[in-house]
Amino acid sequence: MTITYEWRGEFDNTAVNALHAAGFNHQASEVDWLAQVHRHSLGWVCARHEGDLVGFVNVAWDGGVHAFILDTVVAASYRRSGIGAGLVAEAVRQARIAKCEWMHVDFEDDLQSFYFDACGFQPTAAGLIAL
């Protein structure tokens, strides 16, 4: 199976909304992902198989040296094949090219092995306030 990864790749909102809804177990919404990523993100990575969008990750940033992984998602039938790690690797590569010095991610406990083992993140102390 050949997967291609596209930094700031073209996509339509319907495809990302469907992928996001399935990946995060909620009803499909009508988020304007195109406007959101163009306004707030350093970039994003699209994973494709035979032209179909099968993975997506958003890379937000502070405009300086900090980048943030958000919304990593892979279509259910493609999970556990390395696509998620490929998305994150391309995001990290592109953030380095943009001269970012740090890549941040937060995640639920069941994703520790993915982010620490498969993607190479290191544990760190962090804080959170629910709003």
Where do the domains of the chain lie, and which CATH numbers do they carry?
A: 4-118 (3.40.630.30)
In this predicted structure, the answer to whether residue 63 has a pLDDT above a threshold of 80 is yes
Q: Provide mean pLDDT across the span 48-70.
A: 96
Listed in sequence order, the DSSP H helices in 81-126 are 83-97, 112
pLDDT interval class at 23 (50, 70, 90) = confident
Q: What is the mean pLDDT of the chain?
A: 94
Beta pairing partners, 102: 66
Model confidence band, residue 54 (pLDDT cutoffs 50, 70, 90): very high
Would the pTM of this model clear 0.75, i.e. be above it?
yes
Per-residue pLDDT of 93-109, as tens digits, reads: 999 999 999 999 999 99
Q: Is 114 exposed, middle or buried (0-12, 13-18, 19+ CB in 10 A)?
A: middle
Structural contact between residues 102 and 65, judged by C-beta atoms closer than 8 angstroms: yes
Instruction: Characterise 36 by phi-psi region: left (phi > 0), alpha (psi -120 to 50), beta (else).
Output: alpha
